[in-house]
A and B are shown apart, each in its own frame.
Chain A
Amino acid sequence: MEATGVGTAVRQSVWAFPILEAVHLVGLALLGAAVLAGDLRLMGLGLISASPGAVLAHCRPWLAAAVIAMAATGIPMLLSEAVKCYYATAFWVKMGTLPPALALTWAGRRRLIRQDPPGHTGATRVQGAVSVLLWLTVAAAGRWIGFSA
């Protein structure tokens, strides 16, 4: 992976990795908007004047944009230091929590958008809380890759 053109180019450039990191972090803010606006509503917080399904539908395009931005900046960073990541526990924690987080916010939310329940329930509260916890773990583990030797 590190021998790929992208991996080599990022590693050899002084500016590429820092800029990718910085844009990845801007993507995190957008992801935070799409995840939090929806999950807070599921927990009965935030934008409660609209139905949970309506808020989740509003989040969807920004969620997609944020995930694309994260992948577009994250994958080149991974390619530039694949071996370091392979030996970093934090990387595997991130890769373990990312798929369920994505599944819950993409497929799990789609179900609620279709059903459009009138308000939040115990089940939606749990879904929102689990999603926030999963994404917090993804973000913290991601930051910790940088602290790994």
Chain B
Amino acid sequence: MRGFLEWLGGTEGSRALLESQYAWPLIESAHVMGVALFLGTVIVGDLRLAGIGFTSIRPDEVLRRMRPFVLSGFGVMVLTGVLIFYSNPVRYYHDLFFRAKMGLIFVAVLNAFLFHRAARLGNRGGVRPGIAVSAWGAAAISLTVWALVVVAGRLIAYNWFACDIQPQPGWVNKLAGCPVTAAASP
């Protein structure tokens, strides 16, 4: 894995992107504005599912109307995110906050997938009763986990736990997968 990422980071495109004066900040800004589009429209649906916003409109109607914006926003996030990762693959691979962010995204997407599957089954004939309760729970999980994704994402910018700044506590080096030699570790 690390060998591949080192090769990737050494490619011409990756170096050009990292050293660019305008491309990198522009891609990063697009990633931030994508937060407003993607997470903003996710939040609209979650507020309705939780029963605390947009309450005069049916929940499935709100989700259906927001879907194209959620999906296009997700596309913007993935595209710009992959480019940012490509600009410095080894650094992000060993970043504690990046790893936390990827784990949290997995949880948030899994939550959305499980909720939609349960809702579909429920609509077909009540195979899964109690959707009203799980809708509130799914919305609460979604809002909490996506907020943590944003926080973890913003903190990637800070190198408190970077592998090349040693000594770090043992658990940091372990979680970040830092290739620490015996001589360098405290």
Binding site for B on A (CB under 8 A): 14, 18-19, 21-23, 25-26, 28-37, 40, 46-50, 54-55, 58, 61-62, 135-136, 139-140, 143-144, 147
Contact = CB atoms under 8 A, between A and B. Distances in A.
Interface of B: 25, 28-29, 32-33, 35-37, 39-41, 43-44, 47, 53-58, 61-62, 65-66, 69, 146-147, 150-151, 153-155, 157-158, 160
13 contacts: A29-B35, A29-B146, A31-B40, A36-B36, A36-B41, A36-B44, A47-B54, A47-B61, A49-B58, A49-B65, A58-B53, A143-B25, A144-B25
Given A18-B154, A25-B150, A58-B54, A140 B29 contact: yes
Contact of B56 (A32, A46, A50): A50
Contacts of A33: 39-41, 43-44, 47
The prevalent SS among residues of B at the interface is helix
B33 A140 contact: yes
A115 B177 CA distance: 60
Given A18-B155, A147-B25, A49 B57 contact: yes
